[in-house]
Amino acid sequence: MALTREFKDTVMELCKDPAYRKGLLLEALESYLEGDIVVGNSMLRDYLNGTQAFAEIAHNLQIQEAGLRRMVSPSGNATAKNLFRLFKACQDREGIRSADEFLGYAA
């Protein structure tokens, strides 16, 4: 199902707020930990689309942008190594320095 321009614009607008971006990352992590890979991928995809960071993160991970897009697609099946590298790159992008700081956004 294709996203509407209005939805994309809304996500991009919301992603201007650092707390919203960090919340998306936290929700993605929680979804993965609960075993809901499709929702986790969706949240990460929203983060990457909303921040227009696909190219930057792919470059940081030294992978092709198309590969990163496949990794967070609805049928994506990233290895644990790549998934944790992706989260680390997103955390670095947001200036989050530790797991405690990251998880502190859940409170």
With helix as H, strand as E and coil as C, how does 19-80 read?
HHHHHHHHHHHHHHHCCCHHHHHHHHHHHHHHCCCHHHHHHHHCCCHHHHHHHCCCCCCCCH
Q: What pLDDT score was predicted for residue 81? A: 94
* Domain limits for position 97: 5-106
Q: What pLDDT score was predicted for residue 4? A: 65
Tell me the per-residue pLDDT of 31-56, one tens digit each, with 9 for 90 and over.
999 999 999 999 999 999 999 999 99
Q: What pLDDT score was predicted for residue 101? A: 66
Neighbours of 105 (CB within 10 A): 15
pLDDT of residue 15 exceeding 90, the answer is no
Entry pTM: 0.84
Tell me the per-residue pLDDT of 89-102, one tens digit each, with 9 for 90 and over.
999 999 988 766 66
The domain total for the chain is 1
Cα separation, 78 vs 67, in Å, equals: 10
First vs last C-alpha separation in the chain? 33
Q: What pLDDT score was predicted for residue 103? A: 65
For tokens 């939805």, name the residue: 7
